[in-house]
Amino acid sequence: MDPLKEGAQPMNARPIYTYKVPKVMADGVQSIGLVQLTTHEEMMSAKRAGSDPIRLVYEQVKQSLAEVNGQPVSLGDGTADTAFDKMGPQLRNLVMTAYAKLHTPADGMADDFLASQAVKVA
């Protein structure tokens, strides 16, 4: 959907992808909800990370974190940071894996995209 066209949904009306936390690592967290980041959110994450590429990954994942146990969380009020900090290392890793899968093209898409290259002289 073109966000500039009339009738487009507002940015806050976007899908939340929910994942069930395995019971062995739940420790109070039963589900995690992630959103796909907008360009602005990616840039804000990069600014918070500075020149640290490891921190960039964490900042993007925390920016993407929209719900914990069905309740909204946000970087704006600190609840996303608090929720992420309370997760154990295995759960954090699973959330990072979900983020990466959610933001990575499916197999073959990159090849199809690159194969579609056309050249013109302007």
Answer whether residue 35 is part of any domain. Answer: yes
Q: Is residue 91 part of a domain?
A: yes
Instruction: Give a yes or no: residue 116 inside a domain.
Output: no
Please tell me the pTM assigned to this model: 0.82
Rounded (to 5) percent helix, strand, coil in the chain: 45, 10, 45
40 belongs to a structural domain:
yes
Residue 93 lies in a domain: yes
The domain that contains 68 carries what CATH number? 3.30.2220
Q: Is 32 contained in some domain?
A: yes
Residue 9 included in any domain: no
Find out whether 63 and 37 touch, Cβ atoms under 8 Å: yes
Give the tens place of pLDDT for each residue, 80-96: 999 999 999 999 999 99
Domain span at 58:
17-105
Instruction: Let me know if residue 119 belongs to a domain.
Output: no
Collect contacts of 18-23 with beta carbons under 8 A, ≥24 apart. Answer: 18/67, 19/94, 19/95, 19/98, 21/91, 21/94, 22/94
Q: Give tens-digit pLDDT for 4-25.
A: 565 555 556 899 999 999 998 8
